[in-house]
Every structure is written in structure tokens, then in C-alpha cells.
Structure 1
Amino acid sequence: MTSYLLLIKGNPILICCQIMNRFDTVQASLKRKKYRSYSPTQLTNAYIDVVENKFSVYKASRKYSIPEQTLRDRVNGNVKIETTKSGPDPLFSEEEEARLVKHIQQISAVGYGYTRVEVMNLGTEYAIALGKRDREHPLSLQWLNSFIDRWPDLKVRRPKTISELRAKATSRESIEKYFKELESILDKYDLRDKPECIYNVDEKGIQHNHSPPYIVASSDSVPSVITAEKSSTVTILGCGNALGYQIPPFFVFPGARMRRELMEGCSVGAEGTVSKTGWSNSEIFTTYLQNHFVRFAKGRVTDQKILLLYDGHRSHFSPALIDWAIDQDIILYVLPPHTSHILQPMDVGCFGPFSKIYGNECHKFQRTHAGSVNKYNICNLACKAYTAALSPNNLRGAFRRTGIFPFDPSVVSLGNAFLASDTRKELEVNDDDQAPNSIGSGEQVPVVCDTQVLPDCQENRNVEMTQDKDCLVIEDFQHKGVQTEPIHISSEEPKESLLSSFFEKKKPVFFTKSNKQRRSINKIVGGKAITENSVANQVKDYVATVTKPKTTKKLKFSPPFRHSDQDRSDKSLPSESSDPPAALSADQPGPSGIHVQQNRCSHREPECLSSDSEIEESEKCCVCKLFEPKQLRSCVSIVFTKWGKCMFDNCDHWVHLGFCTEVRVLRRHDIFYCPCHGLPAKSAIIE
């Protein structure tokens, strides 16, 4: 540049600045220039004009702003017209990739999606089956990235967890039935245009230790946030209507006596009570409706019904509560079981923001007060989060997203609510269609799937899919002596049959339990208004016919510290004939969290609405005729009982392993017979 400046007359500094500015402008324009400014449609139209309309390559390239050589290569056949990117053609054709994409989407929809490594392994097996690759040259991460770029429908995402019960219960049939029943109730009581009369109530459990928000900190290390120790749960009963009006919160603290200090700093109208565990129960829920909800609920005019929706936990309904609701002109509507994540407004649009706001408030409190959250300030923090989370906008949006008000069932149908249920039904294999791999009573035996190709850094392993509690279990059996061969499909088969054969073997195998009809209150109240005469009568008949659970025998053990015989008589356990205390009989936990069951069952008849208390004869041991081994009746520690199911033809007997038979452990390939048939109790499959 120095020699160039010497040849130019004028101010060298000025000339140098002009040249540098010019250089920066050219460099910026090169950066802004797009690699390919034309679309595939323009290239196709230019190709058609040259081939069919007899345009020259030069004229067509100028007309559609396409490089002349690019168009000439396609006209001369050097490059295919379908090629949209430079470089070699993809390994699979568009049709083959489309089938692979469809399979990946189906598997992810039912909850068994592939990871990136598994997609590469699947693509390698696919290429081997099509004869396009061998095992010495597996596909790489570069192929996976290019494959995802070519298909915008695919994206690497972190999945959300959902329980198997929710995935199965959220079917299109159950949701349509729910909305049909809800529509009839809205029309019957003229509630379609009355959002102030449509309420939803639900419980939410909180603890002293919170989830901290994202913070700004040094990049040298991961920061730490001080939180309180793990504590018992405090339950909040929240409620609001479709108009956006929130009812003040109602707290349930753990303890035996309610203290005024627990409600210090609460919002206006907030109330509270105590329970032994901190969970809501039938007695607390009834008190909440009769004393708290009725006092703050709007729309309480003459002959005007109020619709109250809530989930179907057993603590939420009883014959006495139904009679009270009928007298108060309140329609109690129970949501279908295991569908609150898409049908309950509080879960959909309010309690999610509540958890985040509560965590932020706890984090701010600890920073400003240099202390931890405890039972005396948790109410103040929770009330702030409750007021902000159950705002009018959030409440109205929650009722709108669940299709309740405005009434629109298609809002739920437009989402992915039925994706897992519908796709599972498409892929589900019926027992009649499966291969006759059965033993004795027709029980399903392990089904071996094709070999999975792993990268060089991992071992090549075979996998086995088998039945375990109605779910798919994949286990390694590399050292079990089972050899499987890769899928090889004859080239003489049609291409469609070739593709279908490969992906048919890749579908997950769903095992279904025997459809045993069990008595459950949810079959009566799920998705229905329980204050209607027909449903209310069914609930009362069900409660009247429920068998009371047997009282447990008095445990015979000595306390670690005793001083006299008088102490023994004073501290003795109640007899079998004595009635349990009211506090124990009413301790039915609400759905706000996990409950540590301290009493096996409530002794009050209206509370025993669960099918767990009814043990059928087919579920008992065929030897001792008991559900619990008699050897464990006086045991005070936790013991897990192992069961074995007989595999004889048409025999569904269960036996206590280790107690009622000499067999203590059953493994995957073992054959087990109950003592009723006089056969050896255990044998193994000879492979």
C-alpha cells in the first residue's frame, strides 16, 4: 500500500483513508451477500423455460436471477434439478427419509423417543438394510445434523415427563364425552354466558425450600443459593372463576393446634387450619366449601346455580357434601380421572406461574432478611405469589385454554393432548396378532428385537423387550448367549415392502394387563356432575355397599422405655372393637402432593371410596387365602412381599414367594406353577 500511495498526487493521509473506507464498504457488502439468493421455485421455473419454452440459458438466468452455470449444469444433466444444495447427494432418497421421519415422530409421540445417538444407530441399520452402508462405516453426527436440516418437522428438544396413567386416560373418547356432558349442564342451568358462576378449585403443596431463579454471577464457577431445609408440606386451596375473580387462599398447616402466628402477613380474606400431615382431607375440604367458598363466591343470587369444577380425588366427594351442595344450589362437577393437566384451569394456567413467583419471593426474602423461610413467614410469601398468579388475565386465559369459557372443545383438540394416546393405539399390537410365543396360560414371553448398532466408543449390545407392569422394558442380555442377526431384506422384494418390513420391526411392543373389572368410584363420578339426582344416588348406593375394611390387630411389642405396669396399661393400643379417633378417620390426603400413609385405611364409611380397600379373591394367595402373609401380621418394619403368578393353562392364581412356597425368586425365563397342580414349582426355559 505504501508504494501505491507514492504514485498518487495529493495528501497521502486523505487518500489512504478513502481507500480504507472503500475497502470496508466492499467487505461489508460481501458479508451481507446471501449465499443463494434464489429459491428452488425460481430454479425450477428457469429450467422449464429453457426446456419447454425454448429460452436460452443466458436469458433464463437473467430473468430469474440465477447463475448461468448453475442453470446450465441442470439443463445438461450434470446436476439433478431436485438438488438444492451443493455437495454430494444425501444417502437416502426423499421417500426413504420421509419414512424414517414418520417413524421417529410416531415413536416420540408415544413417549419412547430416540436420542441423537439412537437416531444415528437407527439410520445406520436402515442403510445396512437397504444395502447402502456396512457396519464398518456407521453414520456420523454430520449426517444427523444434515438430516435434521433437511426436515424442519424434526427438532432436538427436551421432552416433558407425563405419567403412564395420564397418557392412557387422555384419550379422545373420554375428552369428547366430558365436553358433551359439560355442555348439557351449561345448557340445562343457563350458564354459557355467566362466567361469574363457573369456578374451579384445586390444591397446591408448597415447602420452605424453594427452587431459586436464574441469577447473574461470576463465570468462574457455578453459584450457590442458600435455601431452607426440607420441611413438611403446606397446602393451599386456590379457587377462581371464569370472569377472573379469585377467592382468597385457604392454608392447611402441619400440626395439631392452629396458631394465630401462622397467618401473620396474610392477604385480606385468607384463612387457615391445621392437619396432622399438612395435606387436605375430606373434613377440611368440606369446611372450606361450607365456610370459606360460600362466603366469597360471587353470583350468589336467587335461584342461580354455581358450577364448581374440581378433580376426582376421593377426599372431594361424600354423600353429606353432595346433599349440602344441592341445598346451596351448587353443581359439583368432577373432572375425568388423570386429565387435570389439560382440563383443570388451575393446573393449566395458574399454579405454574404460582410456583415461579413463589420461588422468586422466597429468594428475595432470604436476600433482604438474611434468613430462611419458616412456618411463620411462608403464609406472607405464598399470599403474594397467590395474588399475582391468580390474576384476572391468568384466570380468564386458563378457562379459555381448557375450553370451558367460552365453551370450545376444539381448543383442547388443537393441541397435542391426544398425541400419545392416539399414536399408542395406532402402534398397539393386539394379543391375537402377535406371534404364538406363549407358555402354558398364554402369558407373553420376552420378544427379541433387532440388533442395535452403537458407535465405536460403545459396545455392540443386543436388547430385549419384555413385559413389566404394562410398560416397555429394554434390558441388556449381551452375556446371556442370545445371538441375533441384523435385518437383511431381499432386494427382490418391492421397495414399499422393504421399507414397511424394516420399520414394522422397530415399533415398540405394548403389553396390556388383563381387563379385570374393578369397582371404583371414579367410574361413577368421573366427568359428571355429582349433584345430579342419578349420579348422586349412584354415589350413595356405592358408599352403602362398600365393605368396611378389617381393623388391624393390636401389635404385640414392648416400647423401648417403660417404667411400671401402670404405664403399660395407660399406653396400651386400642382394641379391635373400639372406634378410631375422629382425627385419624378423617385423614384423607388431598392431591397436592405425595402422602406418607400412616394409617392403612380410614374407618369411616363415607371415606372408603377407593377400590384399594376391596381385595378380591383372585388377588389373594391361593395357598393361605390372604393378601398379606400371616407371618407379617406382627411385623413392625417395612417388608416387601414378592408374588408369583401361576403359568398353568387358565390359572390366574398368585402365591406368596418365600412364605407359601419354597421358591423365593423368579427370574425372567423361569416357569412357575402354583401348588394347586402338583407340579414342580419352578423350572427354566431351555434355549
Structure 2
Amino acid sequence: MGPDTVLTVAEEAQLEKWIIEKALLGFPMHPDELKDSVQRVLKTINRPNPFVDDRPGRKWLKLFLNRHPKITQRSAEIISKARASVSEAGIRNWFQELNEYLQHENCAEILNDPSRIFNGDETGLQTCPKTGKLLGPKNYRNFYEIASGPEKECITVLCTFSAAGDSAPPMVVFPYKRIPRDIAVSFPDDWGIGRSDSGWMTSATFYEYIANIFLPWILKRHIKLPILLLLDGHKSHIGMDLYNLCTQKGIMLYCLLPNATHILQPCDVSVFKSIKVHWKEIVRQHKQKTTKSITKNTFIPLFKKAYEQGVQPSIIKHGFRKCGIFPFDADAVDYLDVFRKEEKNKKIILINKILLMLVNTRLR
């Protein structure tokens, strides 16, 4: 009944499949993300529609959900950081769910091949990091150090590593509409140059990285497809274009357990620590050689040195092994560290309850 839908039956079926599969992979979608995706599709195909600026509203969303009863809309439960603490049971369940998902997709053999298991994440590098304590007279209070660059400037870098110890070319993101020539010519030929208004990773820059940097690197090295790419759910920026690309090309995206990236993400556990240690050393050496500040124009050559020194196959492999990703083993995780954090959170909750009781008693 009624007029035809703006999107075809096939297009809506594709949206339904995207929403369901994205949720199963650990990336549930916000309604605004769906509306944004439809807007991009309509602007691309230039199809007439009744929407303002080609973007559907609440009525369209309600009717879309009515047409696709497999999808439901629920309010997210807001929980405190203490309640969101990670448990051993939660971590082991994540390992089991990933294994079951790969078996369902007939791809369980990926877990036995380190060259097909990847972890990607972004990190920020300060142009003026703290380089440690300084030496001087014992009773002299005014210890100053000339900043090597804008004190609060932070440049985003996206990196991807495999369990085999390989590192895909990174992408560095700058807050520009158009990358200045001086910065562009400073990049290694195979590195990615990203740009966004904020200088942070966005859906568009993440898509560019996968399509133009990561995927060509995979194909050039003749790595067997499909591959598994583990991502932090808070930073993955998975749009419909990226989902379709990865599905077609054999890149299986899967979300790491929320609030557990410090335990399960090799990038955080080992590699980024190594990069930042060497970055601080490069900055320290730079200060000794010149008084010139580290700027966006001079960042890449210096960071390249830190990246090459900090990213070693042994360090990458150690991260995957410590996280239990490869070899795939939930028992490899340091659960004592998890328990320590749980006990700390319990103590904080107990202390807060006692303080609240004392305050209420005084008020009475």
C-alpha cells in the first residue's frame, strides 16, 4: 500500500544485511549512521526523493523498521566504568564467540595462519612529548625545557600489524582540507596521507586507508584471503562502503571486546608502547641538534625513524602472543592483571558507598 519506497527492495535488503552483520561482528549501528549512509547513496545516484538534503528522517526510519522486522531498535544501557570492568568470563566468551563465528563462515583455518590475522588501531603522537626528568642544581626550582613543538598538538597515526610480525604501511592524518606540498613530499611512497577537519580518523579516511593502502599491500604480498582484521569498536568507523568493500575483497572485520583493548589488542599491549618510547628518544635527539620546533611539515621524517626503530617483528609477535590472539589461546591472557583491576573497582565502589552513607548520616 502507498507510494513506492525511495530505495529499491534490493537496496533495502542490502541495508538490512549490513545492519545485522555489523551488529554480529560487534559494531551495533546508531540510527543516525543509517540515515547518513542512505543520504550518501542518494547523493551519489542523484535519485529524486522527498527528504531534506537527501537525508531521511524519523518517519522513514520507523517505516524501514516496519518493513524489516529482523531489525529492532533498543536503547543502550548506560553503565559506569566500574560496572564495565572486564572479567575473565567475558574475555573467554569473546574468544569462544570469535572461534564460533569463523567456524560458521567456514574460515576457522585463519586462526592457524599468522599471516592472515591482523590488528589495526590508531594512536596519537605529541609533537612535544615529555622526555623525562632533567638534571640540574639540587636547590634550583626553575627547571625549564624549551618545547620542541606546539605543546598540545597531537598527530593521529593509523597502524596495522599481523601476527606473523609484518607491518602494513601506516596512515598519518592531518587537519587539512588539502595537504600542503611540503608535507606530501615528505611521505614515504607507500604510506597513506589522511586528512580530516579535526585531524582525527573518520569513516572517509579509514575507508581510504583500507582501499588504497592496506588492501593493495595485502594483494601485493599474495596473502591468502580471507583475512581477519581485529578492530577497536570505538574507533573502527565502519561505513556501508567499507563494509561492502571488505565483504567483496575477503577482509573479515571483527570487534575486540569493549573495555579490554589494553588486554586483547596487540597494538596497545606492545607495539604502540615501543613506538612512543622511540618517538620520545627521537624528539630528545632533535632538541639537542636544533632549536627548531617539530611541526606538521617536519613530523614525517622524524616519525619514520621512530616507526622503523620501534616496529620490530619480535615486538609485534610478542603482542599477539601475550593477547592470546596467536597462537589462539584464551589461557595466554594475564587474568591476574584483570583480577587486580576488578578488585580495585570493587574497592572503589565500596568506598563510595561508605562515603555516601556517612554523608547521609550527617545530613540527618
The answer to whether TM tops 0.5 is: yes
In the alignment, structure 1 residue 206 sits paired with structure 2 residue 125:
yes
Residue 419 of structure 1 is matched in structure 2 by 340
Residue 407 of structure 1 is matched in structure 2 by 328
In the alignment, structure 1 residue 168 sits paired with structure 2 residue 88:
no
How high is the TM-score relative to the length of structure 2? 0.68
Question: Are the equivalent residues in 2 in contact too, given 1:248–1:268 (CA < 8 A)?
Answer: no
CA distance in structure 2 between the aligned counterparts of 1:321 and 1:204, rounded to whole angstroms:
21
Q: Report 1:455-604 matches (<5 A).
A: 464-465=355-356, 482=362
Count of aligned pairs: 280
Q: 1:304 aligns with which of 225, 228, 233?
A: 225
Residue 94 of structure 2 is matched in structure 1 by 178
Q: Which runs of 4+ in 1 moved over 6 A?
A: 425-429
In the alignment, structure 1 residue 225 sits paired with structure 2 residue 116:
no
CA distance in structure 2 between the aligned counterparts of 1:313 and 1:265, rounded to whole angstroms:
30
CA distance in structure 1 between the aligned counterparts of 2:298 and 2:223, rounded to whole angstroms:
41
Residue 326 of structure 1 is matched in structure 2 by 247
Q: Could you give the per-residue CA deviations for residues 290-316 of structure 1, whole angstroms, max 9, x where no partner exists?
A: 111112226865863111011002652
Change in CA separation of 1:266 and 1:367 when aligned onto 2, cut-off 3 Å: farther
| Amino acid of the structure 1 residue aligned with 2:111 | R
Measure how far apart 1:317 and its partner are.
1.6
Question: Are the equivalent residues in 2 in contact too, given 1:358–1:382 (CA < 8 A)?
Answer: yes
Q: Whose Rg is larger? A: 1
| Amino acid of the structure 1 residue aligned with 2:144 | S
Q: Could you give the per-residue CA deviations for residues 587-639 of structure 1, whole angstroms, max 9, x where no partner exists?
A: xxxxxxxxxxxxxxxxxxxxxxxxxxxxxxxxxxxxxxxxxxxxxxxxxxxxx
| Amino acid of the structure 2 residue aligned with 1:287 | E
Structure 1, unaligned runs of 5 or more: 1-162, 430-445, 450-463, 467-473, 483-668, 670-686
* Equivalent position SS for 1:168: coil
Change in CA separation of 1:194 and 1:224 when aligned onto 2, cut-off 3 Å: same
CA distance in structure 2 between the aligned counterparts of 1:350 and 1:413, rounded to whole angstroms:
17
CA distance in structure 1 between the aligned counterparts of 2:242 and 2:277, rounded to whole angstroms:
34
In the alignment, structure 1 residue 398 sits paired with structure 2 residue 319:
yes
CA distance in structure 2 between the aligned counterparts of 1:166 and 1:300, rounded to whole angstroms:
44
How high is the TM-score relative to the length of structure 1? 0.38
| Amino acid of the structure 2 residue aligned with 1:225 | E
CA distance in structure 2 between the aligned counterparts of 1:395 and 1:167, rounded to whole angstroms:
31
Change in CA separation of 1:336 and 1:178 when aligned onto 2, cut-off 3 Å: same
Residue 191 of structure 2 is matched in structure 1 by 270
Residue 112 of structure 2 is matched in structure 1 by 193
Change in CA separation of 1:315 and 1:330 when aligned onto 2, cut-off 3 Å: closer
* Equivalent position SS for 2:338: coil
Residue 365 of structure 1 is matched in structure 2 by 286
Residue 309 of structure 2 is matched in structure 1 by 388
| Amino acid of the structure 2 residue aligned with 1:165 | K
Measure how far apart 1:181 and its partner are.
1.9
Higher normalized helix content (fraction of residues): 2
Q: What is the percentage of aligned positions where both structures have the same residue? A: 27
Residue 343 of structure 1 is matched in structure 2 by 264
Change in CA separation of 1:351 and 1:166 when aligned onto 2, cut-off 3 Å: farther
CA distance in structure 1 between the aligned counterparts of 2:131 and 2:223, rounded to whole angstroms:
48
CA distance in structure 2 between the aligned counterparts of 1:274 and 1:371, rounded to whole angstroms:
25
Q: Could you give the per-residue CA deviations for residues 391-422 of structure 1, whole angstroms, max 9, x where no partner exists?
A: 11110011011000011211214431133336
| Amino acid of the structure 2 residue aligned with 1:171 | S
Question: Are the equivalent residues in 2 in contact too, given 1:196–1:298 (CA < 8 A)?
Answer: no
Question: Are the equivalent residues in 1 in contact too, given 2:131–2:281 (CA < 8 A)?
Answer: yes
CA distance in structure 2 between the aligned counterparts of 1:197 and 1:302, rounded to whole angstroms:
7
Q: Report 1:245-260 matches (<5 A).
A: 245-260=166-181
CA distance in structure 2 between the aligned counterparts of 1:326 and 1:399, rounded to whole angstroms:
24
Residue 356 of structure 1 is matched in structure 2 by 277
Q: Could you give the per-residue CA deviations for residues 109-162 of structure 1, whole angstroms, max 9, x where no partner exists?
A: xxxxxxxxxxxxxxxxxxxxxxxxxxxxxxxxxxxxxxxxxxxxxxxxxxxxxx
Change in CA separation of 1:410 and 1:255 when aligned onto 2, cut-off 3 Å: same
Question: Are the equivalent residues in 2 in contact too, given 1:203–1:235 (CA < 8 A)?
Answer: yes
